[in-house]
A = this chain, B = another copy of it.
Amino acid sequence: MTDLNTLGEIGLIERIRQATPSPVHPETVRGIGDDAAVFDWGEDYGLLATDMLVEGIHFDLTYVPLKHLGYKAVTFGVSDIAAMNGLPVQLTVSIGLSSRFPVEAIDELYEGIRAACEAYHVDLVGGDTTASRSGLLISVSVLGKVPKDLITYRTGAQANDVLCVTGDVGGAYLGLQLLEREKQVFLADPNMQPNLSEERAYLVQRQLRPDARTDIVHELRDLGVRPTAMIDISDGLASELLHLCRQSGTGAVIFDENLPIDNQTHLAADEFKISPITAALNGGEDYELLFTVRPQAFEKLANSARITAIGYLTADPTQIVLATKAGQQTPIRAQGWSDAENR
């Protein structure tokens, strides 16, 4: 018998993908292996992405308000559609509930789901409700669309492409550290008041109620830029960069000084004695997009406040490195399955 940890999540997905036969329906354009499956629906490509969130693994109800959790569950799925350069159209939400949840708790969860549906302009069209013996389970499936000439896979990047990331990175991870610390204080003395100052509000919001970057999909269309490759980095910038490079057959250089890190992230990283670069690369849960564009297309993006060039792609797939100001280069590594499980 082979321990799951020896294979890792990426190895497991690859094992499933390899064992899956070729599609029998001609409208199935792409299956396992990107942020969403792709279908030929005539005028547009259809997209389907699905995600599962498990209490105790993905969220801790000690400090996660259910309304925020509902919003975040939708963000989770919508971000996968955005990563294909698409926009969401419909979604289903299935929930597993233990009887400890009162009806009002479920109302709160759905309030957040509806708020997200409104924000992302997506129709809630169904789902499933079931009992659970082990806390709250949420599964989200999102259908989306993208014009055929705009579809963006993980596989299209080329050497010399500019590597871009949206928003800022590392904040969600430090938001989690803040919330975990308050939880420990609260568990030690339930009369203590939480010490989440106003200045920390941004980091907590990054963790609790992140937004998927459908705005970037619109911005890229408005600017007439089609990325050569794109991926959602909610599992961590480093591991997703490795996916993008592996699937495109390229290497990459990232400049540490270019990583967009919010000042609050820097301050909290200092306090927790965590490297802000590590938080940015491996923290995860930033629902941002990593994408590549041809050098000549980058000019159109250079003035965008929401997009930062963090490096470029190289021809050598064995070289995926972080470069410091001083010229040092260190290989970028990913976190694995066991890290996620212990989180």
Contacts and interface: CB of A to CB of B under 8 A. Distances in A.
Interface stretch (A118-126, A205-213, A218-226): A118-126
A220 to B, nearest CB: 21
Contact of A123 (B28, B135, B137, B341): B28
A50 B89 contact: no
Q: Size band of the A side of the interface?
A: 35 or more
A22 to B, nearest CB: 9
Interface in A62-110: 89-90, 92, 94-97, 99, 101-104, 106-107, 110
Contacts of A118: 21
Among A9, A96, A337, max chain B CB count under 10 A is at A96
Contacts of A137: 52, 54, 96, 137
A41 interface: yes
Interface stretch (A32-40, A174-182, A252-260, A324-332): A32-40
9 shortest interchain CB distances as A-B pairs: A134-B134, A37-B125, A139-B139, A131-B341, A1-B102, A31-B125, A2-B103, A23-B123, A141-B141
Given A4-B97, A23-B90, A42-B43, 14 more contacts: A1-B104, A2-B103, A4-B102, A12-B106, A21-B118, A24-B123, A25-B123, A28-B90, A31-B123, A48-B141, A52-B128, A52-B130, A96-B137, A143-B143
Interface of A: 1-7, 9, 12-13, 15-16, 19-21, 23-25, 27-28, 30-32, 36-37, 39, 41-43, 46, 48-54, 56-58, 89-90, 92, 94-97, 99, 101-104, 106-107, 110, 114, 117-118, 121-135, 137, 139, 141, 143, 337, 340-341
